[in-house]
Amino acid sequence: MGKQLDNERTMSNRELFKKLFVFLKPFIKHFILALVLILAAVGLELTTPLLYKEATAEMTNNTVDLGKILACTGLMVIVFIVTAIIQFIEAMILQRAGQGIVYNVRNEVFRHIEYSSIEQINQIPIGKLVTRVTNDTATLNMLFTDVIVNLVRSVVTIIGVIIFMFACDVGLASYMLIIMPVILFATFFFDIFARKAYRKVRHNLSHLNASLSENLSGMKITQAFNAEEKQYREFKERNNKLKKSYSHQILLMAIYRPFMYVCYAATLFIVFWFGGKSALELAINTGDLTGIGTLLAFYLFIDKFFGPIQELAEQLNTLQSALASSERIFEILDTPSTIYDEDDVIELEEIKGEIEFKNVWFAYEEDNWVLKDVSFHVNPGEVVAFVGATGSGKTTILQLIVRNYDIQKGQILIDGIDIKRIKLDSLRSKFGQMLQDVFLFSGNIMDNIKMHEESITDAQVYQACEYVGANQFIQKLENGYNEIVRERGNNFSSGQRQLLSFARTLVHDPKVIILDEATANIDTETEVLIQASLEKMMNIGTMLMVAHRLSTIQHADKIIVLSKGEIIESGSHHELLQTKGQYYKLYKIQYEKNIHFNENQESL
Ligand SMILES: Nc1ncnc2c1ncn2[C@@H]1O[C@H](COP(=O)(O)OP(=O)(O)OP(=O)(O)O)[C@@H](O)[C@H]1O
Ligand SMILES: [Mg+2]
């Protein structure tokens, strides 16, 4: 999933079709039936020129057999009606199969993304992932409902026409062979150019999408920095590139179609020029219209021949885009998650909550060590706080315990068991995580706290909210617990979001609580609430926390001070104050700032 391919295809067609077949297999009956229907429809359609020929031949001299002509006309009407019915049924069958396949693919892709590691997801812009699940699967639908069958239809029609022509008149049919190389040559070259043009369009489109989704997420910042014009210019430039590449693609199409039209006219001209003379002579001299009938049939055959030829190039083009889309989809599906369960993992029923880091080394990017030889031990029920400058590795430590990332060296143990040996969902179910930036889903407050866990009752939610003090603001909302939460919870303040995340964690009954406190400013009233509920939560079980206000962590059993990924001090609040090291300095700064702040407040 790491590589982003907009331009190049790396899988061979064979490989791709093999993979696609896995999705197609449950619907194979639909496709076979559709193909049979296509063959029937094409066969039926191709009989119409012959019926024209028969009817014309009947008009010899004055002995017109009206009955036969009417019979031919009647047959034609039947052929048209039956063909239309067949086409309807075939389209319905294919649509059903195509939609079924794409439904499965969309589910599969989403599921796969859900189980990918955070590292892998971070590597791909969200805009691109959205495109994978929606646009690319839609293109895939086209492959099944449109491209493959139409290609088959075109090829069958072209071959059918050639056979019918030769069966009808070998002499006239061989004139067709003159024009064939020109058509093949032109289609071949067109295909090459069209493929290039298509890749360019894809590339520019995906750049535009990525920049769009980033811009939409960051609109607040854009406006805050008055960067609208600059971002607009950048967008305009990308948009312009996209427009140009589309124009180029359209130009190719615009050349191909008229060119084929000229070929069509030339073929008609050749056939009528060489075949017309003898047919006319026959008709004038003997009154026999057979030759004219054959010419008429050829006129219709040529028409039926060039129809699919004109579409063939477009279909090949669509085939390319559908294959490129399916490759991008398989690129996701074929990339296993970097965080996965080994075969011999164990399920944890209960844990005591003992945590140990043994000489842990970790780097997000190779050799750029973010944690260097970190070791610490947390007893069950203890509260441990991490302190340190920004970027010192606090969040990283918390992420490693729940295996958002795997460490490179050392060991992390829960109750004495290496976390790599514990089943991932069983490991994570024991932890309640409150992250640095709280994420709320669109929906309502109740759903956001329950997070789809059906065993949690409303009463438990009320209780948890009361415990953490979230009920105070929820009760003031117009719809209480049913208050709508907008995307990312942007209709709540960051303090409120944090209280909701406390309640969310609590109600899931974790054995270990992980708290990464936000640095964002919170109003004093909410801050008092948060402080109070934090202190309460310290009694629930083992707790690992990052708190920026040192007053919060004074009661922690142990405080670990980090600097540039290394532990430089650890101990209780009082022990650390006595050693007069880094913690003492930090505490003094905050303490003095607070006194200063309080003095200012009082003098106001
Ligand atoms: N996903 C990532 N990919 C690469 N590097 C990262 C990633 N996340 C964090 N880092 C780097 O790891 C280091 C530690 O980051 P971390 O988030 O653990 O800091 P922190 O102590 O939590 O800081 P803060 O107090 O600002 O939250 C930083 O230098 C950061 O640049
Ligand atoms: Mg952090």
Q: What local confidence, expressed as pLDDT, does residue 522 receive?
A: 64
Distance in Å, CA 533 to ligand 1 centroid: 27
pLDDT band at residue 77 under the 50/70/90 scheme:
very high
Contact 584, 569 (CB under 8 A): no
pLDDT band at residue 599 under the 50/70/90 scheme:
low
pLDDT band at residue 461 under the 50/70/90 scheme:
very high
Beta-sheet pairing, 431-434 with 443-444: unpaired
Ligand 1 atom closest to Cα of 397? 18
48 in contact with ligand 1, CB cutoff 6 A: no
Ligand 1 atom closest to Cα of 386? 21
391 in contact with ligand 1, CB cutoff 6 A: yes
Nearest protein CA to atom 28 of ligand 1, as residue: 391
Q: Which ligand sits nearest to residue 396's alpha carbon? A: 1
pLDDT band at residue 597 under the 50/70/90 scheme:
low
Collect all residues with Cβ–Cβ distance below 8 Å to 71 and sequence separation of at least 6.
Answer: none
The two most distant CA atoms of the chain are separated, in Å, by 125
Tell me the mean pLDDT in the region 434-463: 91
HSE value, Cβ hemisphere, 13 Å, CA-based, for 455: 3
Per-residue pLDDT for 603 more than 60? no
Per-residue pLDDT for 600 more than 60? no
Q: What is the 3-state secondary structure (H, E, C) of 53-99?
A: HHHHHCCCCCCCCHHHHHHHHHHHHHHHHHHHHHHHHHHHHHHHHHH
Ligand 1, from 120, 365, 367, 370: best to mutate by most atoms within 8 Å of Cβ? Answer: 370
Tell me the mean pLDDT in the region 517-530: 70
Average pLDDT, the chain: 87
CA distance 70 to 55: 8
pLDDT single digits (tens) 260-276: 999 999 999 998 888 88
Residue type at 80 in one-letter notation:
F
Please give the share of the chain, as a percent, with pLDDT higher than 70.
95
Tell me the mean pLDDT in the region 187-215: 86
Strand order in the sheet with 355-363: 369-378, 355-363, 409-414, 417-418
CA distance 177 to 73: 31
523 has which bridge partners? none
CA distance 391 to 372: 13
CA distance 522 to 530: 9
Q: What local confidence, expressed as pLDDT, does residue 1 receive?
A: 42
Q: What local confidence, expressed as pLDDT, does residue 3 receive?
A: 41
CB atoms closer than 10 angstroms to residue 242? 19
370 in contact with ligand 1, CB cutoff 6 A: yes
Ligand 1, from 394, 433, 566: best to mutate by most atoms within 8 Å of Cβ? Answer: 394
Residue type at 266 in one-letter notation:
A
CA distance 131 to 206: 8
Q: Which ligand sits nearest to residue 435's alpha carbon? A: 2
Q: How far is CA 478 from the centre of its chain?
A: 37
Classify 541 as helix, strand or coil. coil
Q: What local confidence, expressed as pLDDT, does residue 406 receive?
A: 94
CA distance 588 to 359: 31
pLDDT single digits (tens) 437-447: 888 999 999 99
Q: What local confidence, expressed as pLDDT, does residue 191 receive?
A: 83
Ligand 1, from 392, 516, 568: best to mutate by most atoms within 8 Å of Cβ? Answer: 392
CA distance 140 to 134: 10
DSSP class of residue 422?
B
Per-residue pLDDT for 203 more than 50? yes
Distance in Å, CA 216 to ligand 2 centroid: 25
Q: What local confidence, expressed as pLDDT, does residue 595 receive?
A: 62
182 has which bridge partners? none
Per-residue pLDDT for 4 more than 80? no
Tell me the mean pLDDT in the region 548-567: 89
Nearest protein CA to atom 7 of ligand 1, as residue: 364
495 in contact with ligand 1, CB cutoff 6 A: no
CA distance 181 to 191: 15
Collect all residues with Cβ–Cβ distance below 8 Å to 221 and sequence separation of at least 6.
Answer: 227
Collect all residues with Cβ–Cβ distance below 8 Å to 528 and sequence separation of at least 6.
Answer: none
Per-residue pLDDT for 596 more than 70? no
Q: What local confidence, expressed as pLDDT, does residue 257 receive?
A: 86
Distance in Å, CA 402 to ligand 2 centroid: 15
Position with higher pLDDT, 314 vs 303: 303
Ligand 1 atom closest to Cα of 394? 21
Q: What local confidence, expressed as pLDDT, does residue 533 receive?
A: 81
387 in contact with ligand 1, CB cutoff 6 A: no
pLDDT single digits (tens) 352-396: 999 999 999 999 998 899 999 999 999 999 999 999 988 999 999
Q: Which ligand sits nearest to residue 370's alpha carbon? A: 1
310 in contact with ligand 1, CB cutoff 6 A: no
Domains and CATH numbers, the chain: 13-333 (1.20.1560.10), 342-430+542-596 (3.40.50.300)
CA distance 300 to 302: 5
374 in contact with ligand 1, CB cutoff 6 A: no
Contact 381, 399 (CB under 8 A): no
95 in contact with ligand 1, CB cutoff 6 A: no
Nearest protein CA to atom 1 of ligand 1, as residue: 364
pLDDT band at residue 483 under the 50/70/90 scheme:
very high
In degrees, to the nearest 5, what angle opens at C-alpha 23 toward C-alphas 20 and 24? 85
Please give the share of the chain, as a percent, with pLDDT higher than 90.
44
